[in-house]
Amino acid sequence: MDRGLTYVPLQLDRTKIFIFTDGSFANNRDLSSQLGFIIVLANENHTGDRNNFKIHGNIIHWNSVKCKRVTRSVLASELYGMVGGFDNAIALSTTIQQIVQNLQIPPIPIIVCTDSKSLYDCLVKLGTTQEKRLMIDIMSLRESYENREISEIRWINGQDNPADACTKHQPNQALEKLVSTNMLQIRVEAFIDRIKPIQSSELAPAV
> What does 91-159 look like in DSSP terms, one character per residue?
HHHHHHHHHHHHTT-PPPPEEEEES-HHHHHHHHS----S-GGGHHHHHHHHHHHHTTSS-EEEEE-GG
91-109 residue pLDDT tens: 999 999 999 999 899 899 9
In a domain, 195, yes or no: no
Residue 82 belongs to domain spanning? 14-190
Question: Does the structure show a pLDDT above 80 at 141?
Answer: yes
CA distance 124 to 62: 25
In a domain, 3, yes or no: no
15 vs 198 pLDDT, higher one: 15
Do residues 8 and 56 make contact, with C-beta atoms less than 8 angstroms apart?
yes
Question: Does the structure show a pLDDT above 70 at 172?
Answer: yes
In a domain, 50, yes or no: yes
| Most confident among 90-94, 122-126, 169-173, 195-199 (mean pLDDT) | 90-94
Q: How confident is residue 1, by pLDDT bands cut at 50, 70 and 90?
A: low
pTM: 0.86
**Average pLDDT score over residue span 75-92:** 91
In a domain, 26, yes or no: yes
CA distance 129 to 103: 43
**Average pLDDT score over residue span 11-23:** 93
Looking at the structure of the chain, the number of domains it has is: 1
Question: Does the structure show a pLDDT above 70 at 156?
Answer: yes
Percent pLDDT > 70 in the chain is 90
118-132 residue pLDDT tens: 889 888 877 666 677
How much is the pLDDT for 7? 93
In our burial notation (b when 16+ CB lie closer than 10 A, e otherwise), range 59-87 reads: bbbbeebebeeebebbbbbbbbbbbbbbe
Angle between helices 135-146 and 117-124 (to 10 degrees): 60
In a domain, 206, yes or no: no
For residue 59, what is the domain's CATH number?
Answer: 3.30.420.10
Question: Does the structure show a pLDDT above 70 at 201?
Answer: no
**Average pLDDT score over residue span 40-55:** 86
In a domain, 8, yes or no: no
Question: Does the structure show a pLDDT above 50 at 202?
Answer: no
Question: Does the structure show a pLDDT above 60 at 72?
Answer: yes
Collapsing DSSP to helix, strand or coil, 15 comes out as strand
In a domain, 176, yes or no: yes
**Average pLDDT score over residue span 169-195:** 87
In a domain, 202, yes or no: no
